[in-house]
Chain A
């Protein structure tokens, strides 16, 4: 089986699905000739032609809005927004239209599209290139939010997202694009949306993470009897998996690279408090970035949660 990095795994998923389904089209800035700024779409223009891989003008709202029209017309567009921070100028399209088209047309139109965007910090890029504001998008009913944590799940989740009948925001952690290689089956397989994955079984504490934090958490928990859940889909998220793990371990630590206030960790903590508070033996702790804008390269490592912060939190909840 081939050892692929996440860029190659995503490229393979796109390529295979485009070959299988002629409704799948890519559009975005630099996705064609250049193969995308991270080379995720490399070779797809050559293979599928200009009608299927559209190099657009520089217009995030236009790209998102056009994808909505394409989806309503019966295609399965895959708009790429170059960085999550650039989706802000397409917010209205994503929130007011993509997420609500099925609902506001009472099912006459739907919006099956996958918005791909690099996300998260740790690549020493300029301002707005390292955002992790995933929780903003999870507040919107009608929009699914998926975050792969490695090459294997990235391919399976993307294939599942491409076949989903509703809009999916597919957040690709840039730090992971080339960080790790995994065995990725050449054939097609789906990783179901909405399901978490036990990345490491354990009994004394549950640690929930997603995206690029997973790799950091798995290193930090070495030597602990910790169960690590890789959430994979943030909306809808697998609350059952979290609750049943917490019922077993009695302790919960949530790790995310976004700012703390109204981060997705708050949703998880509240869900566990509602459903399993009597199983808890310790307070729920969140290890997150501070409530400041993502800093530039010199201080990014100070901003992102590190292994030591994660271990401090584990030590604290294990005292109870």
Chain B
């Protein structure tokens, strides 16, 4: 008997803006100049926030911090496509998404400063707490998507994770649930190519991460993660698809972590300076500046002004974070259960 070809699959990469700042006008998202400038401001804000956070850690003013440098387009571009009612299940390295959605800066810094009170997400935002365990937030997103569909809420549920998380069981279990139940769920993989010291090749033998969606029966697409327009366009399509009931999408943002894994890590031990320089030339902010310049919207002076404005916002956030009173010891007993157990109540009394 002959072998029968059952299926053929393709994986696509979406690119809109090249390194020279030239955009494919067919694919350029329908954004006004003001909206594009806002994307630029948010990416600058994310960059400056990140630089300050690293500096604060070096000065001992906050604890261990995972930098996002290089991933600004992937984070800002994707979060910019969401609306207030959508749900976000982040990992621990999406501060650019948080900033885009208006998460208070003092609270972001307070969390990395080790103050648990900061995990109480402001009530206007449907964001889950940072998930330090790799990939375990992904099934939560599947559950929220099930609940949203049961409630007939036209919202998209979005979960972020890194390339390392795609090796974990929870990623696969959630992808499978999303496919089987056709959930309103968008998986956004920040493929920054390094899970601490393990490069992508040590994480998977597949040519792309996007193709993993094929096995679960839904669409997977790779986008140039340093191209804010490609990320925005793909996410926008995916969240609209989710909200309309057409099922899940997996988006692989091919980007690069330009900094260390965390402030406790030294990436110089496992990767070359040439590699980092290669990616520095593909900096997502630089690329957008070239585009804006080509449209007569950018100049070094405009950058100075925008950067100064972002720095002032971050400075105010740092000041507010440092002015907040430290938590009281008894607060460790708060919110463990709706009503403390008799034993907890007794333990609290003697603290």
Contacts and interface: CB of A to CB of B under 8 A. Distances in A.
B150 A62 contact: no
Contacts of A74: 147, 151
Interface string B173-194: 1101100110000000000000
Contacts of A109: 128-129
| Most chain A CB neighbours (cut-off 10 Å) among B139, B143, B177 | B143
Interface in B159-174: 169-170, 173-174
A142 to B, nearest CB: 5
B338 A165 contact: yes
B24 interface: no
A141 interface: yes
Interface residues of B, number: 43
Contacts of B169: 61, 89
Interface in B292-351: 334-338, 341-344
Given A57-B180, A104-B129, A69 B335 contact: no
Contacts of B119: 104-106, 108
B241 interface: no
A236 B4 CA distance: 60
A66 B120 contact: no
A72 B338 contact: no
A304 interface: no
B145 interface: yes
B203 interface: no
Contacts of B146: 54, 66, 69-70
B121 interface: yes
Contacts of A289: none
Interface stretch (A9-17, A90-98, A171-179): A90-98
Interface string A160-177: 000011100000000000
B163 to A, nearest CB: 20
Nearest to A79: B143
Contact of B138 (A65, A67, A70, A72): A65
Interface in B139-157: 139-148, 150-151, 157
B264 to A, nearest CB: 21
A37 interface: no
A108 B121 contact: yes
B120 A96 contact: no
Contacts of A166: 337-338
Interface string B117-128: 101110100001
B116 interface: yes
A140 B108 CA distance: 27
Which among B87, B139, B144, B334 has the highest number of chain A CB atoms within 10 Å?
A: B139
A65 B140 contact: yes
B89 interface: yes
A96 B142 CA distance: 17
A102 B143 contact: no
Contact of A75 (B123, B138, B150, B337): B150
A105 to B, nearest CB: 5
A63 to B, nearest CB: 8
Interface string B196-230: 00000000000000000000000000000000000
A44 interface: no
B143 A70 contact: yes
Contact of A96 (B133, B174, B180): B133
B142 A65 contact: yes
Contact of A102 (B170, B180, B336, B342): B336
Which of B116, B123, B142, B146 has the most chain A CB within a 10 Å cutoff? Answer: B146
Q: Determine the main DSSP class of B at the interface with A.
A: helix
B121 A102 contact: no
A106 B335 contact: yes
A92 B133 contact: yes
B136 interface: yes
A105 B139 contact: no
A59 B336 contact: no
Contact of B177 (A66, A77, A142, A236): A66
Contacts of B180: 56-57
A110 B336 CA distance: 10
A73 B170 contact: no
Contacts of A108: 119-121, 123, 129
Nearest to A52: B150
A103 interface: yes
A290 interface: no
A178 B41 CA distance: 66
A96 B135 CA distance: 12
A96 B147 CA distance: 21
B117 A240 contact: no
Contacts of B150: 25, 51, 75
A294 interface: no
B336 A141 contact: yes
A97 B120 contact: no
B334 A66 contact: no
Contacts of B140: 65-66, 68-69, 72, 97
B250 to A, nearest CB: 16
Nearest to A143: B337
A62 B139 contact: yes
Given A92-B133, A236-B343, A66 B337 contact: no
Given A59-B177, A62-B173, A235-B341, 6 more contacts: A54-B181, A66-B139, A66-B143, A68-B143, A69-B147, A141-B336
List the 9 shortest-distance A-B pairs measured between CB atoms, nearest first.
Answer: A65-B139, A69-B143, A62-B173, A66-B143, A73-B147, A236-B341, A106-B120, A69-B140, A69-B144
22 contacts: A54-B146, A57-B176, A62-B173, A64-B139, A66-B139, A66-B146, A68-B140, A69-B140, A69-B142, A69-B143, A69-B147, A70-B146, A73-B144, A75-B147, A93-B170, A97-B140, A102-B338, A104-B129, A106-B335, A110-B338, A194-B342, A239-B342
